[in-house]
Amino acid sequence: MIREAIATGDTVEQAFEKACETLGVESHEAEFEILEMPVKKTFGLFGGSPAKVRAFIKSSPADSAAEYLKKIVTAMGLHDIEVSIQEEENGAQLSLSGEDIGFLIGHRGETLDALQYLAGLVANHVDNTYYRITLDIGNYREKRKETLEVLGRKMAAKALKTGRNCSLEPMNPYERRIIHTAVQEVEGAKSWSEGEDLARHVVIGPEEGERPQRRNNNYRGNSRSRNGQKGGPRHNGGSRPSRNEGTGHTANTAPRHDSGDMPLYGRIDKKS
């Protein structure tokens, strides 16, 4: 995207300065094109024309996203916030810095993700091409990545030890990819995604699938009856329940599965 302004002046330099003032930038921040050279008046009285200059600045998608973010955080009551831009292939990483901006991260990065999404929409309206925007505050992204990698390996080890699948809390696509990559480092474990939209989450389990859970049919009778003899609990007026071919009292325990009913992301409170 290009922002431009055209101005006139007695000299090319004057015309360029006026055009830069219109753009709201310093002269060293803009480029210029001479549209018309000044023409002196004949005998100082007749004819003549001023210089005409076109000043312009090329605004990248990242620049547009940064300007938008500054307006957003200012509206949220924050001032003197700096946005640094690091250009990358097909995108850029924007980093916010300033005082008291920690709340912009939100619960597990929810607010940060929302701002990143909006900044990405602005960036992709500049040239109508895909341009990836990554937003960070205080190196939060790298710290979160390390936390998720540890979590992925830990839950993979648990799945192998118990032989059961483990469901994690819902995550965005970026964080799910981090988990999948970490699980691949654990031999014998696999991961996949389940759920839709905001409920989409990662499940980690053994490569061979869940192990069948053995039923516990052995009854350990160590309680005493009223007459002091050992025995199991009495039923129907004190009669003993039938035994299952010498294996003890039947005690069927159904295998327990990890429910995965973990809370969704928490709410975002406004800064007071």
In angstroms, the first-to-last Cα distance of the chain is 37
Helix/strand number for the chain, H first, E second: 5, 9
The alpha carbon of residue 214 and the mean position of all alpha carbons in its chain are separated, in whole angstroms, by 41
Closest by CA to 205, choosing from 246, 260, 136, 272, is 260
pLDDT at 48 over 50: yes
45 and 100 together in one domain:
no
72 and 86 together in one domain:
yes
**pTM (predicted TM-score):** 0.58
88 and 39 together in one domain:
no
Contact (CB, 8 A) for 165 and 257: yes
DSSP label at 29? G
Tens digit of each residue's pLDDT (9 = 90 or more) over 231-252: 444 444 444 433 333 333 333 3
Closest by CA to 15, choosing from 32, 40, 28, 39, is 32
What CATH number does residue 164 fall under?
3.30.1370.50
Q: Is 228 exposed, middle or buried (0-12, 13-18, 19+ CB in 10 A)?
A: exposed
* 238, part of any domain: no
123 and 185 together in one domain:
no
Per the structure, the count of domains in the chain is 3
* 19, part of any domain: yes
200 and 146 together in one domain:
yes
SS (H, E, C) 158-198: HHHHHCCCEECCCCCHHHHHHHHHHHCCCCCEEEEEECCHH
* Boundary-marking domain end, from 117, 138, 159: 138
* Boundary-marking domain end, from 138, 159, 190: 138
Tens digit of each residue's pLDDT (9 = 90 or more) over 105-161: 998 899 999 999 999 999 888 666 789 999 999 999 999 999 999 999 999 999 999
148 and 197 together in one domain:
yes
79 and 134 together in one domain:
yes
E strand spans, 50-98: 51-58, 82-88, 91-97
* 263, part of any domain: no
CA–CA distances in Å: residue 199 to residues 37, 117, 178: 64, 18, 17
Write out the residue range of the structural domain in which residue 32 sits. 2-58
The alpha carbon of residue 103 and the mean position of all alpha carbons in its chain are separated, in whole angstroms, by 15
Tens digit of each residue's pLDDT (9 = 90 or more) over 6-34: 999 999 999 999 999 998 888 888 899 99
43 and 110 together in one domain:
no
Q: How many Å apart are CA 138 and CA 106, to the nearest integer?
A: 13
* 20, part of any domain: yes
* Boundary-marking domain end, from 12, 28, 58: 58
Relative to beta strand 132-137, strand 91-97 is: parallel
* 149, part of any domain: yes
* 269, part of any domain: no
43 and 54 together in one domain:
yes
What CATH number does residue 107 fall under?
3.30.300.20
pLDDT band with cut points at 50, 70 and 90 for residue 46: low
* 154, part of any domain: yes
Q: How many Å apart are CA 210 and CA 259, to the nearest integer?
A: 14
107 and 95 together in one domain:
yes
* 272, part of any domain: no
